[in-house]
Structure 1
Amino acid sequence: MREKNKIIKDRYQLKRVIARGGMGKVFEAYDLKENRPVALKLLELNGPQAIQRFHREYESLCKINHPNIVKVYERFCIENRFFLVMEYVRGISLLEFIRNPRYHRITRQEQLKMFIDLSASIVEIHKLNIGHRDIKPSNIILNLRSKSIKLVDFGLAKQKAIDMTLTDAGALIGTPSYLSPEQINGDWSTKSDVFSLALSLYQFIIWLDHSPFQGSSKINTMINIQSKKLPILTDAISQEVKWLELLSDVIEKAMHKKPEKRICMSQFHQELKNIYRQSTTKKQNKNITNAKIFFKYFWLVLLVMCCFISTFFITILCIALPVWMISYHVEGAILDPQMELTYSGKKLGVICFGLGILYSCLLMGYARIFIGISVSSVAFLLFWDINIIRRSR
């Protein structure tokens, strides 16, 4: 069936498929009534549990109003096909971002800032007793222009007060590579989201194109999650920076195998904020220091140039004035007009350059600058032979 340009419910015009899954598709569509792009999620649901999860995703999203969480507009059902109308987020998934090397130019501070915003959104949904339960890079959408980030796909979202009957006993809910150890054992708490988010951040920082716990099979992956200890972040990226060491410690606390020893999402968010503040403060201080050094040496070079130019003209004056005087007056007598006077500036310059240096010393007052000027003046005057010739007319 041709889906492009098809109009659903006399309102939503389908544009293209932007995601596919085992239970359905997600379309980019256009809301003809509100004149805005939307994401239209089409689900083929079988059984009461799947239908209840569909309604739960809608109800969960309706309760959330946060700039880093996708908004939901409407739900409806046509011929046993269930539709969820959501905010259309322009961008790519974090997983696609990680896997494309041309995006790796962003700074680690920018990476950290994205997850600060993301953790803030999850803090808000936890306040509503809602957990996402499937946090992973493919469920995080990144806007390439603004670097804003949004969490999507609340299909597995669960309210703590809801009865566990929607999940079969012992069934795994979530993507195996990003599950927390307790989820593998069939348990769940809001701290499970902390584990999954910290794992996604770890993967993002080291630019790994798959979960660090991913094994050759689902069983191996789950064994890794329960028993494997990940390398320290600074070792994984071979970069020893103080704030990265702090980040490594925080991620380790957020990924503790035992949920009771794991920090909560609000603590994780606050820790990330503190580390980000520290990293940017040091960067600002470094920029300020660099600026001070630049201006210090800029003015230093400028003063040296001025001093050198002054020395040059003073020396020339010291050479030219005596020659001029000698040319016209020798003990009050006029020289023979036929006489040609050749005066070597090389010799006189060696004698007179000291006058220029003395002038520079009085002008500047920096001994190390004067040495440089002295050497420059001597070299200049020794190698440039100034011959001032007065010829008779």
Structure 2
Amino acid sequence: MDKYEKIRVVGRGAYGTVYLCRRLSDQKLVIIKQIPVEQMTGEERQVAVNESKVLAMLDHPNIIKYYENFLEDKALSIVMEYAEGGTLFDYLQHRGNALLEEGEVLRLFCQLLLSLQHVHSKQILHRDLKTQNILLNKRRDVVKIADFGISKILSSKSKAFTVVGTPCYISPELCEGKPYNQKSDIWAVGCVLYELLTLKRAFEADNLPALVMKIMRGSIAPISDRYTDYLKRLLLQMLHLDPDKRPSINKVIAEPIIIKTLANVYMEIGRVKCPLKIPKPFVVTSNSANSKVQSSNRKDSTKSLSRKSSNLVLNSSSSSLPKLRPLSTVYCWGYGVNTPVRLPLPHSDIQIAQVSTGRTQRVAVTKNGRLIIWESSSVGTDSTMLPGAVDQQYPSFIPRYLEGQSAVTIQHVSCGDMFTACLTDRGILMTYGSGAHGSLGHGDYHDVSQAKIVEELLGYEVVMVSCGASHVVAVTNDNEVFSWGRGDNGRLGLDSQESFASPQSVLLPVQSHIASVHCGLDCSLLLTTDKKVLACGSNRYNKLGLDDVGPNKKTNGKVDEMHTYSPVVSSPIHQLSIHSVAIGTAHAALVTDDNVCFTLGSNQFGQLGCETETNTPRIPCRPTFHDDVQITAVACGDMFTVALGSDGQVFSWGKSSRGRLGRQEDHSGIPQKVELNEEEPFTITSISCNHGNTLLATKPCVNQADSP
């Protein structure tokens, strides 16, 4: 809500509160409907988000304009046009017994028909047309329909079945529980026309059974003789009990009395009032657009700086202050940082639950559900050092909280190339960053600076998400799998190489319950609850284990790509119980229930951690550890691997350039320890590798009070 100023509450409904607000950028009055989705079921969330989805599809002068939506304070906020004239219901109520002139009735009615024609042309049913959902402009001569919360998008010639809408306006077929289509909206429009002519509802009763009986009879009180018989006949046609005998919206508009009024309506709405002082014509050019943005940025620079400064952390070197033991420590290395460096935290009492790193991002989720982002103040050492310099200079990492999160509790985060996915504790998925390849799942390819809800998944409770370089896979609590983004190599598991900008349902080959999901550069892995691995995408170098090979048998059926999820068949992986997996660019690593590590794929840079016997192509192997080490988890970067030992050891192997291994080693093909700057016993809570960098979080072994 940083871009808006609340003025007052203008309404409350079943799904939320409606506020009149002022948009700070241009001082324009807007309406913001806040719908508390956090406590809703999946079905209720789908109803809540449906209004913004439908409004975004519609663009008509007689339909309330949609601007944007965002998640804040555990509520979905829908920003839309403000109609100053209030509702048609209020307008009619204030008239008392003073009937409208037929000309005014037709002007209002024709605009309602135009808006409904646009809605029906998009194969959408409004399903709740009534005078309370019809708004007026300030002069009360322009109609705008609103409230599409329970609208339904129909496939071609389909019908709906759910009984929805306000009882006084529901059609006879709805009362009987029969399927219905656009003709039910025609009935509701007929009820609105009757209200315009009589200032009373067409069907009213003290209870629902009596109301249903009146609707089923279709009997209405007579219309005043001041109105023409032609208008009365049109009303009776729209309120015909048989939906097949009701006219379509196009037939109603084609009636002679309507066409004549429509011509006047078009002339009136299109008329431009000339002000006393004619302003200079406004020409939109790239320069003018940029200057407006720059001007807006200058106005907001002070506010933006003060807002961000509250999230920044300055290092204090005061020795007079007592040294507090942090509840968590986050290390990073790679991209020119040759040894593990501690990242600053906003507070010393923060506990880190999970970390994730992308091509440029370094993020973490705290135990109390806040998302921390570290931004680098400079690039790597090789570009910042002066000629002849000997002291190593590392970039400064500045932490800040995710903007716009505001009371939303983040449970998990995953990073792709230049984009990030955040999962709330209520199963709502939000994404932000680069929209290339449709990786954000918003149905387009636009970049998003602040976390935005993936609306297609609001009807589901998402429990797992993983980002690849340019695609995403999510799993719901009902074990449903969705994927989107770049699709070549079959990485989406949709039996094609097509890319999608919105979530698509994935069919699994067998009935499997998913324990975790993992996306790589050009492939995806699912780990099932029975400890088996399903894979799809590029299998180059047999990094996914889809070749039927093993130490004692020859390659049988080389698999280059798999476009649907298939079980791993390479021996001995297919016989083992796997509890942890990771994917790099051209290799993968797995850990069994016995804490044994296996690697697959290319060993060009020693990333498999095996010696000469690994020259056999496409065969899974075991990394060579000097000691009898129990491995608990692994993470893979582009050309290196990091493994965690049961006693808190960190091992790395593979290509050592630009600090990938977190140590200075010439021989990098054998696992070696990475030394962390920890003075007391610690436990590693989370690790993430991506491209050439690693992010790792630890906590002390001694029990400490949880952070607030």
TM-score by length of 1: 0.61
Shift in alpha-carbon separation, 1:132–1:99, aligned structure 2, 3 A: same
Tell me whether 1:147 sits opposite 2:133 in the alignment.
no
Aligned position for 1:237: 224
**Are residues 1:251 and 2:241 paired?**
no
Q: Secondary structure at the match of 1:237?
A: coil
- SS class of match (2:254): helix
**Secondary structure, counterpart of 1:111 in structure 2:** helix
1:215 to 197, 200, 205: 205
Q: Distance in 2 between matches of 1:150 and 1:176?
A: 22
1:264 aligns to what?
Answer: 248
Tell me how far 1:13 sits from its aligned partner: 0.9
Cα drift, residue 226 of structure 1 = 1.3
On the 8 A contact 1:246/1:275 being kept in 2, the answer is no
Query: Given the alignment, which residue of 171, 174, 181 partners 2:165?
Result: 174
Q: Identify if the C-alpha distance between structure 1 residues 106 and 261 changes in structure 2 by more than 3 Å, giving closer, same or farther.
A: closer
Output the CA distance in 1 between the equivalents of 2:202 and 2:96: 21
**Count of residues in correspondence between the two structures:** 260
User: Residue by residue, what CA displacement relative to the aligned partner does 1:220-272 show, whole Å, maximum 9, x if unpaired?
Assistant: 112211113224xxx43143x5xx20111111111111111111111112227
- Map Cα deviations across residues 54-83 of structure 1 (whole Å, 9 max, x no partner): 222112111111100001111111242111
Q: Kindly indicate whether the alpha-carbon contact (under 8 Å) linking 1:125 and 1:131 is maintained by their aligned counterparts in 2.
A: yes
User: CA 1:218–1:102 in 2, change beyond 3 Å: closer, same or farther?
Assistant: closer
- Paired with 1:29 and 1:275, the residues of 2 have a C-alpha distance of 38
Q: Does the CA contact (< 8 Å) of 2:218 and 2:240 recur in 1?
A: no
Q: Paired residue for 2:41?
A: 47
Task: Report the 3-state secondary structure (helix = DSSP H, G, I; strand = E; otherwise coil) of the residue aligned with 1:92.
Answer: coil
Structure number, greater radius of gyration: 1
User: Which structure features the higher share of helix residues?
Assistant: 1
Question: In 2, distance between residues paired with 1:146 and 1:185?
Answer: 37
Distance 2:97 2:135 in 1: 14
Residues 9, 17 of structure 2: 8 Å contact kept? yes
Other structure's SS at 2:150 match: coil
Change (3 A) 1:276 1:214: farther
- Alignment of 1:16 onto 2:46: no
Q: Matched residues in 2 for 1:104 and 1:144: separation?
A: 20
Contact persistence 1:247–1:272 (CA under 8 A):
no
Letter in 2 for 1:264: S
Query: Residue 97 of structure 2 contacts residue 199 of structure 2 at CA under 8 Å; is this kept in 1?
Result: no
State the distance in 1 between where 2:138 and 2:29 align: 18
Write the distance in 2 (CA, Å) between the matches of 1:112 and 1:247: 9
SS in 2 for 1:61: helix
**1:118-133 residue pairs with structure 2 within 5 A?**
118-133=112-127
Task: Give me the whole-angstrom Cα distance separating, in 2, the residues matched to 1:267 and 1:29.
Answer: 40
The amino acid that maps onto 2:69 is: R
**1:48 partner letter:** G
Query: 1:326-337 residue pairs with structure 2 within 5 A?
Result: none
Q: Which runs of structure 1 show a deviation greater than 4 angstroms over 4 or more consecutive aligned residues? A: 275-278
Equivalence map 1:203-352=2 (5 Å): 203-208=195-200, 211-231=201-221, 235-239=222-226, 244-271=228-255, 273-274=257-258, 277=261
Alignment of 1:348-387 (within 5 A): none
Q: Is the 8 A contact 2:223 2:232 kept in 1?
A: no
Q: 1:98/1:272 Cα in 2 relative to 1: closer, same or farther (>3 Å)? A: farther
Partner of 1:72: 66
- Provide closer, same or farther for how the CA distance between residues 81 and 277 of structure 1 changes in structure 2, counting only shifts above 3 A: closer
Cα shift at 1:273: 4.3
- CA separation of 1:172 and 1:66: change in aligned 2, threshold 3 A: same
Equivalent pair of 1:31/1:38 in contact (CA under 8 Å):
yes
Question: What's the offset of the Cα at 1:22?
Answer: 2.3
Equivalent residue number for residue 99 of structure 1: 93
Distance 2:111 2:261 in 1: 14
| Displacement after TM superposition at 1:192 (Å) | 0.7
Superposed displacement of residue 171, structure 1: 5.0
Cα distance in 1 between the residues matched to 2:111 and 2:218 = 29
Match for 1:236: what amino acid? Answer: I
Whose RCO is larger (CA < 8 A, sep 6+)?
A: 1
Q: 5+ residue gaps in structure 1?
A: 1-7, 281-393
Partner Cα separation in structure 2 for residue 275 and residue 53 of structure 1: 36
Alpha carbons 1:116, 1:273 under 8 Å: kept: no
Please identify which structure carries the higher strand content: 2
Secondary structure in 2 matching 1:236: coil
Q: Aligned-residue CA RMSD in angstroms?
A: 2.6
Pairwise CA distance, 1:276 = 5.0
Q: Which residue of the partner structure matches residue 353 of structure 1?
A: none
How many Å separate the matches in 1 of 2:60 and 2:69? Answer: 20
Aligned in 2, Cα 1:18/1:277: closer, same or farther, shift over 3 Å?
Answer: closer
d(CA) in 1 for partners of 2:256, 2:17: 35
Q: Give 3-state SS (helix, strand or coil) of 2:255's partner.
A: helix
- Asked if structure 2 preserves the Cα contact closer than 8 Å seen for 1:112 and 1:272, the reply is no
Question: Secondary structure of the residue that 2:195 maps to in structure 1?
Answer: helix
| Structure 1, 100-109 or 87-96: larger mean CA deviation | 100-109
1:116 corresponds in structure 2 to 110
Structure 2 length normalisation: TM-score? 0.35
Give the residue type in structure 2 aligned to 1:148.
V
Q: Aligned residue for 2:304?
A: none
Q: Give a deviation string over 1:105-155, Cα, whole Å, max 9, x none.
A: 752211111110110111011111011110000001123515111101011
Amino acid at match of 2:163: L
Amino acid at match of 2:80: M
- The question of whether the paired residues in 1 share the 8 Å contact of 2:106 and 2:258 is answered with no
Q: What residue number does 1:385 align with?
A: none
Which residue is 2:318 aligned to?
none
Name the CA shift for 1:34/1:161 in 2 (closer, same or farther; >3 Å). Answer: farther
Identity %: 28
Task: Look up the equivalent residue of 2:41 and give its one-letter code.
Answer: G
Give yes or no for contact 2:68–2:78 (8 Å, CA) kept in 1. yes
Residue by residue over 1:336-381, the C-alpha shift from the partner in whole angstroms, topping out at 9 and shown as x without a partner, is: xxxxxxxxxxxxxxxxxxxxxxxxxxxxxxxxxxxxxxxxxxxxxx
Unaligned runs of 5+ in 2: 265-708
- Residues 148-167 of structure 1 correspond to what in structure 2 (within 5 A)? 148-161=142-155
SS at match of 2:59: coil
Aligned to 2:182, which of 173, 190, 196? 190
Compute the displacement of 1:41 (Å): 0.2
Find the aligned partners of 2:138 and 2:85 in 1 and give their Cα distance.
6
What amino acid maps onto 1:245 in structure 2? D
> Quick check: 2:218–2:239 contact (8 Å CA) kept in 1?
no
Return the alpha-carbon distance in structure 2 between the equivalents of residues 20 and 103 of structure 1: 28
1:277: how far off?
5.0
